[in-house]
Structure 1
């Protein structure tokens, strides 16, 4: 599968990653200035090419906060099915109430599956257990919109319910401030207004297939 993102974004992202990694290892003050110039160049490229990306100054500040060797970020998602085979979806407050499956950035000191379980509890109140890693997708190869400044891996876990009813602020977690609704949908009832930065219709279709056929191997790229 070819990358669905524009060339300018791939080039700017690569320049930023080279600069970030260079700053992590160089001790030469002249190289520090060169890498900082590359960071500023990447910010200007993104700002000039996409009004949604933000200003060059905002992007440069975002990039400056990224330190160490540049690697993709990790997004985890939990595909929770009830006994009737319906998929749990939530409304994202940060994306005008569009629908997705629960998920978010992976946290340190937790395994990927633990992060998925935590995200489900935080965003829906349901306690679940991750049973299978179904999809490992590069966000740029799948057609997610809008495109973002960083490279992202998306991990989708099939999860089973441990309780048919949501808990009260599951597992003692803080009140949910990310989603406004959580419902189960049959395959032919999936909402059309998806949060396409987080989930796409073809990914949902594959998650239903993995739920129906647990023997399917993990799909990647």
Structure 2
């Protein structure tokens, strides 16, 4: 937006003086109402003080009005986007509340054997591509000792994506491994080529919380903390 310097000096006692004071504090006025008022003040001053022999072209006035309308429009757009973001966050919280008391799979490499030695939490695998050989190794995280090892593709190749499985809670000799936490490791290949395979662990959704930005977060308990909806790989 361009104005004659002579006009700016003539209205220096009002709007520009205010702008120079705020500029000294490092603040920029972005209120669309005040910007519009300041623009109109300068525009009227320009019209009053223009040279009668060389008046400002109408197209320049039109351009200046278009510029202030653009600024006002951007502020309105920002308000609309903020409103939409708030609505999206509310919708996410409603969706997340439907997962309370449900089991989910998230990134992790543990299975838990319960007090009875028979109840075992499920685990999952996230395969980057198809695999014709997928081997699971269950081990004691404290000692690193292998407890059980078996092939998930003995009945055929496994397709890419997320799939869930259960370990029977027994060691390679068929004996109960006993209660506790065990580590899960996955090795996958296809035609001899390594395939990226990420282990997934079970979690129970205890509740829904709100993040600092207003988005929904799932409470997965003291061990796993909070997770976003995008962290959920599968709902069981």
What range is the shorter-chain TM-score in?
Answer: under 0.3
Scaled by the length of structure 2, the TM-score of the pair is 0.20
Scaled by the length of structure 1, the TM-score of the pair is 0.21
| Greater helix content | 1
Higher-Rg member (1/2): 2
| Greater strand content | 2
